Amino acid sequence: THKTNPCIAFALKLRSAWSLSNYHRFFQLLYPATEDQQPPLRCKHVVNWLVDRERKEAIRLTFKVYVVPRFVVVL
């Protein structure tokens, strides 16, 4: 089937992470820690056009939800 093709399986995983706004999984798929987990063939190059946009969106969302801790001294 088409899901056994490594490029299509990679694209489906990447699309799932992207649609769920799971930036950790998205970037983990594109830039894995080990050499044996690299995306198949040249699939990574196909999605390079959207990496900058997604990185900016992930940073924007991180800053939006980050709350600066306020320390309150209770006597």
Q: What is the pLDDT of residue 71?
A: 79
Confidence of residue 1 (pLDDT cuts 50, 70, 90): low
Q: Note the pTM of the prediction, 2 decimals.
A: 0.73
Structure confidence by residue, pLDDT tens digits, 4-36: 888 888 889 999 999 999 999 999 998 888 888
Query: Does 74 have pLDDT greater than 80?
Result: no
Query: Does 72 have pLDDT greater than 70?
Result: yes
Q: What is the pLDDT of residue 44?
A: 79
CB 14 within 8 Å of CB 29: yes
